[in-house]
Amino acid sequence: MRVFLLMALLGANAACAPAPPRTVLEGTNAGRCFRAVVIERADFSRSYLLEIARDFLRSEKERKLAKLAIFTDEDDAINTTFGKSGPSPGYRSWFPVFQSVVRKALPMADVILSHGAGVLRYRDDGGHFESIPLTKNNPLLVSVENRQYEIVEVSLPELLPWWGKYGKAWEFEIFLKSPAEPRLDDGYALSSTMGDRFGASRFTVTVRDDVWFIGSGRFPYYFRLTEDVTPPTHDEYYRSEKVSCLMWKRGQLNCTKFNPVDEAGLHPLAGEK
């Protein structure tokens, strides 16, 4: 009888255990790794996300840069990973899509690792956002002199299956939030740091003082893994500035500071034609 009860309890526990994550996108090279997985929506919990994150940290701790994106829907995984996947939109074309995406937003998480340091970020079904360092050092924080920048998003185009067919893709694209108006000199310093840290010579770095990279094609329409969920107004966006840096190959780095008007070819606040 006792054996029967023990077996029944073990069976019940196994039935309640979350199903393992299902990989839908994956790419690796010697120094970097990207993986997008789907879990059951009912299993999306802080404890299970931490379990997945710690497993990923153990398995990929030697990587210069590794990202695990966790979704509850395969279409959401693909759409979010590939961003806008088209020409950079202006505010008026971006905003209605953003509103539509927000209404249908699903829970999501990611794990960013670099040289053994890691952080888990997630937004749950109730809209709660949390960022949890997995190690003493947080790989998302980068300092230039006494100014601390935060890596908002990491995209690894070179490791994604579809982009690899069209010549050389960027090794990575990094989006950072600055503590104040972005500085051109800091763009150069941040790019040099990113290239050295992540072992790359062909990448982009984009810096804003918020998380609304509306004009960047690789950035998703709605970025869920941040506390800042209120978008700028049309006027606020067109008054903002950003620093954009491109490294074509080692030693050839160019940074430019401009606002979305320059980017879209529009006169300030004149509206979009």
Q: Residue type at 86?
A: G
Provide the percentage of residues in the chain whose pLDDT is more than 90.
66
Rg (CA), the chain: 20
pLDDT-based confidence at residue 86 (cuts at 50, 70, 90): low
H or E stretch including 74?
helix 74-81
Tens of pLDDT, residues 246-272: 998 777 899 999 887 645 455 444 433
Q: Which of 47, 204, 56 is nearest to 119 (CA)?
A: 56
Tens of pLDDT, residues 177-225: 999 999 999 999 999 999 999 988 889 999 999 999 998 888 999 999 9
State how far the Cα of 190 lies from the Cα of 184, in Å rounded to an integer.
Answer: 10
Q: Using an 8 Å Cβ cutoff, are 182 and 207 in contact?
A: yes
Average pLDDT, the chain: 87
pLDDT-based confidence at residue 2 (cuts at 50, 70, 90): low
* Distance from the Cα of residue 181 to its chain's centroid: 21
Check residue 142 and give its pLDDT.
95
Lowest model confidence (mean pLDDT) among 59-68, 119-128, 132-141, 192-201: 192-201
Mean pLDDT of 90-101: 91
Tens of pLDDT, residues 18-60: 899 999 999 998 899 999 999 999 999 999 999 999 999 999 9
State how far the Cα of 154 lies from the Cα of 152, in Å rounded to an integer.
Answer: 7
Q: Copy the structure tokens of residue 189.
A: 């310093």
Q: Using an 8 Å Cβ cutoff, are 130 and 121 in contact?
A: yes
Number of Cα atoms under 13 Å in the Cβ half of residue 213: 27
Whether residue 162 has pLDDT greater than 90: no
Check residue 39 and give its pLDDT.
98
State how far the Cα of 195 lies from the Cα of 216, in Å rounded to an integer.
Answer: 20
